[in-house]
Amino acid sequence: MILDGKGLADRRLEALKGKIKESGINPTLATVLIGDDPASALYVRMKHRACEQVGIRSVNVQLPGDVSTSEVLDRLKTLNEDPDIDGILVQLPLPAQIDTHQVINAVNPAKDVDGYHPVNMGKLVGGLPGPRSCTPKGIMTILNEYGIETSGAHAVVIGRSVDVGKPMALLLMLADATVTVCHSKTKDLPSITKQADILISAAGKADMVTADMVKPGATVIDVGTNHVNGKLRGDVDFEAVSSIAGAITPVPGGVGPMTIASLMENTLEAARSRCKPAE
Ligand code: NAP
């Protein structure tokens, strides 16, 4: 079974458009793009396009690649205090001279639609409601929508980053999976991945997951976006693995579109929370 993230994202965006119309709220997302990295610029454009599709107003703050951390923090303070802005997304990765931790910490947690702020990460660890990181949230939506059982399943996550691997592992744990997290120092990776009922690869290494690393019938989720000879490749050798997996996401058209759909959902949720009267 091909897990069609693109089709699912289109349906989620269409539903969201209706919800936004009904809500009478006009959510606004601010993106902050630093420098001129073409991939980052493309991702930001895709996010603005999705905003337009669902009826979210979007603004972009473009900063030069040599900007200082304190200048970025000043801009974030302005966005944090702007009552018209509901969600703030700082496009990562940031140029080397910028302190990424300080930048993430400076976003108002109530406007943190990426779910990266330590307050929101803490809520995830505690199983409390809060914005969830968009990529893991999108993956959970794929699993739920396709009826893939997480309870009692052995889920193996390759990658332990703050934006994908760690929140993914935590969400799977909250969904009652037994979770193993692997990384570059893991010994004998194939012996672990072969045990997975659900295998999620977020290593950023093209075609790293080969057929001999996958249990027949497993669900394989490919987060990787790797540019190889001008083409987008996932972490998974799709041609070989799809013949033994029970279900698999393609690249492109799998996790990527669901990441954007989740961002739109988080932005509406942030706008809704801010509209609630203070208790
Ligand atoms: P990252 O910060 O570079 O983390 C990569 C992780 O993979 C690290 O934990 C690393 O281990 C581990 N790893 C690398 N090589 C490995 C190997 N050979 N065996 C086992 N583990 C290995 O990357 P990220 O931000 O999590 O992103 C991962 C990939 O997903 C990238 O290709 C990125 O472009 C893609 N991505 C896609 C979306 C989407 O919407 N489709 C969203 C976000 C990211 P160490 O910790 O030991 O270094």
DSSP SS3 for 88: strand
The domain ranges of the chain are: 24-109, 134-256
| Domains 24-109 and 134-256 in one fold | yes
Q: Which atom of ligand 1 is nearest to the CA of 260?
A: 40
Bridge-based pairing of strands 226-228 and 231-233 is antiparallel
Long-range contacts of the stretch 20-26 (C-beta < 8 A, 24+): 20/54, 20/55, 20/56, 20/268, 21/55, 23/268, 23/272, 25/268, 25/271, 25/272, 25/275, 26/55, 26/57, 26/271
Gap from CA of 274 to ligand 1 centroid (Å): 33
- In this model, does residue 160 exceed pLDDT 70? yes
Q: Tell me what percent of the residues of the chain surpass a pLDDT of 70.
A: 99
User: Is the CB of 119 within 6 Å of ligand 1?
Assistant: no
Length of the chain counted residue by residue: 279
What type of residue sits at position 99?
D
CATH fold of the domain at 134-256 = Rossmann fold (3.40.50)
Write the pLDDT tens digit of every residue in 30-47: 999 999 999 999 999 999
Question: Which numeric CATH code is attached to 24-109?
Answer: 3.40.50.10860
Gap from CA of 225 to ligand 1 centroid (Å): 9
User: Is the CB of 244 within 6 Å of ligand 1?
Assistant: no
Write the pLDDT tens digit of every residue in 66-92: 999 999 999 999 999 999 999 999 999
User: Is the CB of 19 within 6 Å of ligand 1?
Assistant: no
Average pLDDT, the chain: 97
